[in-house]
Structure formats: structure tokens, C-alpha cells
Structure 1
């Protein structure tokens, strides 16, 4: 069994907010032993001297949409686990079945989203299930449980009785339910919470509850009286208190709105991970197409940018669960992996401490979905580590200055991980193979 020793590094205990110099002994894919600086170190195993470096747990992106083509970018950015919020778990099998030490992220995934007619992404397909029938929604939940979904995802045009049925069915299997109400015209975040939805993605549906009748799909001129730059803090407080009663969890994905609102001055630091996106033509093309509609995106979708930020901070201050996610690769230039670092910057910009921001992408994220084997640096946990050149507790931007990554006990440089990016032809072949199996199975 492979062994690795990382010595002399400053280990950041994200759970307790303390740091100490010590060593981490890794055996196989797990942390075997935490060793104090004064204790004797094991001999005869591969050893890395991390003197002057800072060690944090592997980061977790709690809302993204992965593709094999850019999966390595997550790990190259120090993001070793992702929560895939809608897609198809059968399409993701190649990633989900990878060994712990693979240079691709660990995947915690929902299956296709359940939406109402006519379907925001079109009629029923491998990526979405469209119905206004509560019993059909129950059957779809059961199918998703059978194929291995980790949670259920509902979408914004779902009807109230369908949402209630899906939540009720999911509870029979101890499955959490998430919803994206960004474009909802009928249901609000409070409606979803009262029906038993666990996760509110993007802090969506809050605006619909605060401003009854508003949605991104309405004529925005009729809502010009809303001061989106300075949202009503009293209304936010009142709504957050109501949401807290239902113990909902928030993944605000601030970066996806912020990138659009900041355009053309987007966040795009110079590093080898971001530069490598230049070879992923379909992503760049999609982002450029969205830029053609940037004014509409700003006025209809990303307009809730400041509201989302205020909700995230208010709900957290009240004791609610708020975790870090990105919605990669939505809208424009939400770089897989790297976008999470910008999300952490935004956490700090709205008033979180550096430690609190780190917790939102490590220990708190892991706890929120009961992944007890990751999220902290402790004996017995999976050895997912990010070794940094500077202290992120002094400046959260230091999470971007990565020396190397340990994924499932295996050490990688960023360049080594990026060398594992599959070709466009390989990914297309994988997708084609899936589509043939899907169509042959005749799944509705």
C-alpha cells in the first residue's frame, strides 16, 4: 500500500480555526496519522517537505455541472469534490466510478431535474423530466433512487402539487430535495421550504417571495421601483427568519451573478488552469454566445446579485447553513474549479471571515450533505489536501496560490492534472455511447 509523508507544513484545522506545524502520514487513500512537530517521523517512505507551506482540506464546490472535458480543472484548482446539481448520473458514471486518487473530482450528484411544462430546457430528455402529474413525479423519484442519485433536483416551473409529491416520495428514501426557482412565476423559496424542500439553490425564489409577482420572465420595466443595488434589509431579515424555521440550506452561487454584472471587467486571473480553458472550444463558444445577450442577463437574471449576497450573509448570521458553490459553467466565464476561489473572495467581501469562507467550502460543505470522510484534515479521513504557498487565513486569495494537490492520497502538480484533460473526440465518443444506451433503454 502506497505511503506518503508531508512534513513541516502549517496544517489548518478548519473545524476549530487553529493552525499548527506538523506532519501528515498518508497510507493508501487515507490519513493514517497526524504527527506533532516534536514527535519522531516514520522513515523509509516518500516524504515531502512542506516547510513554509499551508495545508487545507480539498475544497468542495457545492453546486456545479461537470463534464469529463473539464473535470480535471476542478482538481487542478484544489477542488477535490463536487456536488453536481442536475444532469444524468448514468452519463456521469465514468467520473463517479473513478478511484479516490484519480485526477478528477469526487462526484456527489443528482439526476435529471424535475420541471413543469413546457420545460425550461425543453421537453423530457436525458437531462430533465417534465411533468405536471404528481404520480409521474413520484415514479421519477423512485427511478432516480434506483440509478444511484444522491439527491433530487426540482426546477422552477414545477407545480405546487408536483413539488409536494416529489418531496414526499424522496423522504421515503431519506433523500434531500433541492430546487432552483430562479425563473419561477408561481412558487417562492418560502413555498418550497414549507413543502419540505431542503436546499434552495442560488438563494432563488427569495426575490419572488419579497416582491410578489416578480420573476425574471416578467417585463422588468414594471418592476423598476425595486432598488436592486440596495435591497430591503428589513424584508430580507423577515424572510430569512421564516426560512430558518424550516432549516433549509443555501448555496448562493454568487460568482455566477457577479461575473455577469461585472462584465466586461470579469474576474479572470492569469494562471495555467484558466489559460487551459482556451482549448475547450464549446465552453468558450457558449460563454461568448451569452455575452451577446449580456444586457438581458444583467437586467433579468443577474440583477439579484446584491440581493443574493445580502441573503447569504443574513441567513448565515442567523445560524443558517450557507455553503460555497459556483454553478459552473453557467452564464459567462465561471471557470471550473477556479470559480470557487472567486466565490470564496465574495464570501469575504460580504463580511465572512477568511476562516468562515474556508469552512463554507470544506467542513461545513461536507457536513451539509453528510460526507463524514472529507472536509477536514483528520486521522481516518480521505487524504484530500491542498498545499498552498501562503496563508489563506490572512488573505483568502491565497487559496489560489497552489503548490500541489493531494487527491485520495496521491500527490499531483497542477500541470500533471491538466495533462489528463481528455480530448474533445474522447468526450464526444463517451457522450455518444451514453446516448445510444439511453435511447435503447427507452427511458421516458
Structure 2
């Protein structure tokens, strides 16, 4: 097959690296951007032209916190999300993503393996996505196993002990891997303690509340909840804590959208477009979310109430110069639409005071650089041709990122309909899942 070669012409290119926009043309060869031409530069006549007059081009977006599955992987790309950071699962289950052609209509995946938690395990005992221990040596061996199977980073969960966390961080660093934590439900380790132990990533900006309110956790007695003014976060104390965390160069992925959807229920965000309607199919994710709302009162208390605090932490850390990136925790919570939820996270970033450019950067160049990926996240020569072509300018209104004209993945141009047409059928997915679970169980000797 001949190498793909064409030029996207007459577009407005948004340069998130240099924070500017300009009229120009993008020449694509194979799966990479070959050359970028400024307006009025002469183009080679023999190359196919794809007219994008009146359109705006940004880099393919990156969801920095999700849990990908085959049933909704195409929804990311249909939303312009061409790369995801999978924050726990099983890397062996994602082998097809790693070997897929670069222009496949599924996202590129940067992934952790199963999360390491403390007993009894918030998500239950050991499984393909969960490892539970209070034994330091067992944790070290699990890190080694995850390194061998190709984990890109290590994820620890809220019931882990400080001793095990310390051992995990030490072993991960021996192999050059960062450690990410979710401390929302932690009773023992708070964010500052985790930072001092060497944890780099703080998902959901979690553990910050436990620093400021040491007697609080999601399962604390009501009197501890009542001591906190949830609607009016203490910004002075938050700033002092963020300054201290900044000294450890930690990185935040606040995933505000997941708690905001719960907080706002039943008036949650739902743009009702081709992607969200597909994801809401009962056999894809709609059934899961319908089941979740049976527990909406508990969800509102445990997660929805922390939304203003998380917003305050995220904005403060950005203002101090810290790394804050955009993620969603899809499909967690309720109606966290894969792909599209990231667009809502960008809206929230602007609502709390970031500029449109800062919001875009949090899901493109800042996200890519934060995990040392330099071939994505920018519209640049010799970079991967992962692009999102929009009908309107997102620098004028961040909601315009949702007005998608075309998606370019590895140099291949897709419509949203073409991507969604590749969703595998439920029977195939179920058979593949059961086969993997059986093989993993046998491999682990359980």
C-alpha cells in the first residue's frame, strides 16, 4: 500500500506550544506531520489537497485519567481524544492497543497495571485489576511483575499502608517509573505524606483534604463532615498546602468532571451528541450508570460534596506554576461519557479561571510532557499526525472543542460516524474478557 500523503489546506492552526494561532497548511506523510506551511507559502502541486477553509486545527486530545475498555475505546477517538492514560486495569488486557496500527480508530494507551491497595481492598481481593497486600516484600514483587509486563507507571490505592507505599515508590524508582495515587478513601496516608515518600501523581487531587482535616475521611462520622464548609473552601490553607506540595514537584489530575456530574445530578452535563448517545447505550455504559444512581445519596455525600474543594486546589496549583492536567475517570461515577467528558473537564477548567489556551494545554502539550511523550500533544513538524479539526475556534469559546469536523489519527482522516462504526459487538467483547480472565488466573496460579 502506498504511503499516505496529503496536505490539509487553508486552516487556522492553533499552536499550543507557542500560544498562538495562524493560517496555514499541514502536509502529512504516513503517520506524521511532514511540513507546516504558513499562509501564502507555495505548496507542492503534485500532493493531494484536503480543504479545511474556515476550520481550526488543534492537537489530538489526551485524557490523563481513564479506565479504557474495548466497548467504548472508539468513543475516545470519535471525540478527538487520540491518547489516554489508563490509571489501573491490566496491561496484558491492552496488548491489542499496543500492537494496533498507528492509524487505528482506538486511542494510544499509556497505562498502569493493576492497582496496589491495602487489605481488605476497596475493590475486593486480588484480581486482574487489583492487588491487595500489607506485606512489603509482596508489594515489591508485584512492582517487579508489573515492570516485566510493561506497565508505564505504578498506581497505588487509598487503603495502602505508608510502609507498603514507601516500598512501592522505592522499587518503582529503581525501574524509572513514577507512582500515582488515589487517596480519596485513605484513612492512613494523606497527600503530603505521600509526596514526602516520593509519590509523583495525585489523581483527583486526592489526599489534600486529609491534610487539612486529619480526622476526616469518606467513611468518617457525620460530625467530622459537619466541621468542613464544603461550599466555601479555605483558600488560604489550600494555598499554603499547595505551596508545600509544589516543593515535591507533584502533578495533579483533578478529574473534576466525575464529581461534578454526581454533584449536579439529576441536572448533570449531557450535550446529547452522536458520541454521548452511543455511549449511553445500555450494553455499552448506560446500564452501568443507571445502576450507579441507585446509590446516588451516598455518591453525593462521598464524592459530589468535594467538588468545590477540588476546583480550588486545581486552580491554586495552576496559579502557583504546578502541573495540572485534564482527565475524567471514565467510566467511573455517572455519565462520564468516554471522550466527551474530557471536553466538559476543559469547560470546567475555564470556569474556574484558566484561559482557553491553558485548558487546551492541559489536555495536549502539558499532558504529553508530564509523562515524557514528545511525539504527541502538539501540531508540529515530525510529530505524530494526531489532530482534531474543529468547525469553530476553541480559543474564543472552549465549548467549541465539541464542534468536531474531522479527527486525524496517525495521519488517517475520520468522521465521527466512521469511528463509531468500529465498535465491536458485545458478544465478542464478553468472549474476549472471559478468555483473558481465565488465562490471567491460570498464569497467576489462582
* Counterparts of 2:361 and 2:209, CA distance in 1: 27
The alignment partner of 2:17 has SS state of coil
| Structure 2 residue aligned with 1:356 | 358
| Structure 1 residue aligned with 2:68 | 66
Please report the RMSD computed on the Cα atoms of aligned residues, expressed in angstroms. 1.0
* Counterparts of 2:8 and 2:284, CA distance in 1: 39
Question: Which of 364, 376, 379 matches 1:377?
Answer: 379
Question: Which of 279, 293, 299 matches 1:291?
Answer: 293
| Structure 2 residue aligned with 1:154 | 156
The answer as to whether partners of 2:262 and 2:303 remain within 8 angstroms in 1 is: no
| Structure 2 residue aligned with 1:141 | 143
**Deviates most, 295-304 or 282-291:** 282-291
> Under a length normalisation based on structure 2, what TM-score does the superposition of the two structures give?
0.98
| Structure 1 residue aligned with 2:407 | 405
* Counterparts of 1:416 and 1:330, CA distance in 2: 26
The alignment partner of 1:355 has SS state of helix
> What does 1:210-225 align with in structure 2 at a 5 Å threshold?
210-225=212-227
CA offsets 1:333-362 (integer angstroms, 9 cap, x no match): 000000000000000000000000000000
| Structure 2 residue aligned with 1:313 | 315
The answer as to whether partners of 1:68 and 1:95 remain within 8 angstroms in 2 is: no
What is the deviation of 1:280? Answer: 4.4
What is the deviation of 1:282? Answer: 5.2
What is the deviation of 1:120? Answer: 0.5
**Deviates most, 50-59 or 213-222:** 213-222
The answer as to whether partners of 1:133 and 1:162 remain within 8 angstroms in 2 is: yes
* Counterparts of 1:71 and 1:378, CA distance in 2: 26
What is the deviation of 1:292? Answer: 1.3
> What does 1:320-399 align with in structure 2 at a 5 Å threshold?
320-399=322-401
| Structure 1 residue aligned with 2:191 | 189
What is the deviation of 1:4? Answer: 2.0
The answer as to whether partners of 1:183 and 1:216 remain within 8 angstroms in 2 is: yes
| Structure 2 residue aligned with 1:38 | 40
Q: Which runs of 5+ in 2 are unaligned?
A: none
The answer as to whether partners of 1:220 and 1:299 remain within 8 angstroms in 2 is: no
| Structure 1 residue aligned with 2:436 | 434
| Structure 2 residue aligned with 1:261 | 263
* Counterparts of 2:282 and 2:414, CA distance in 1: 22
CA offsets 1:379-433 (integer angstroms, 9 cap, x no match): 1100000000000000000000000000000000000000001111111111122
The answer as to whether partners of 1:220 and 1:300 remain within 8 angstroms in 2 is: no
* Counterparts of 2:199 and 2:101, CA distance in 1: 32
What is the deviation of 1:3? Answer: 0.8
* Counterparts of 2:444 and 2:198, CA distance in 1: 31
The answer as to whether partners of 1:63 and 1:325 remain within 8 angstroms in 2 is: yes
> Under a length normalisation based on structure 1, what TM-score does the superposition of the two structures give?
0.99
* Counterparts of 1:439 and 1:136, CA distance in 2: 18
| Structure 1 residue aligned with 2:172 | 170
CA offsets 1:251-301 (integer angstroms, 9 cap, x no match): 000000000000000100121111112334252122112111111111122
**Deviates most, 247-256 or 34-43:** 34-43
What is the deviation of 1:443? Answer: 5.1
* Counterparts of 1:97 and 1:91, CA distance in 2: 12
* Counterparts of 2:81 and 2:210, CA distance in 1: 32
The alignment partner of 1:238 has SS state of helix
- Counterparts in 2 of 1:283 and 1:443: CA distance versus 1, 3 Å: farther
The alignment covers a number of residue pairs equal to 444
* Counterparts of 1:441 and 1:3, CA distance in 2: 44
| Structure 1 residue aligned with 2:124 | 122
The alignment partner of 1:94 has SS state of helix
| Structure 1 residue aligned with 2:17 | 15
Question: Which of 238, 241, 247 matches 2:240?
Answer: 238
* Counterparts of 1:410 and 1:282, CA distance in 2: 26
* Counterparts of 1:282 and 1:295, CA distance in 2: 24
| Structure 2 residue aligned with 1:95 | 97
What is the deviation of 1:167? Answer: 0.1
Q: Which runs of 5+ in 1 are unaligned?
A: none
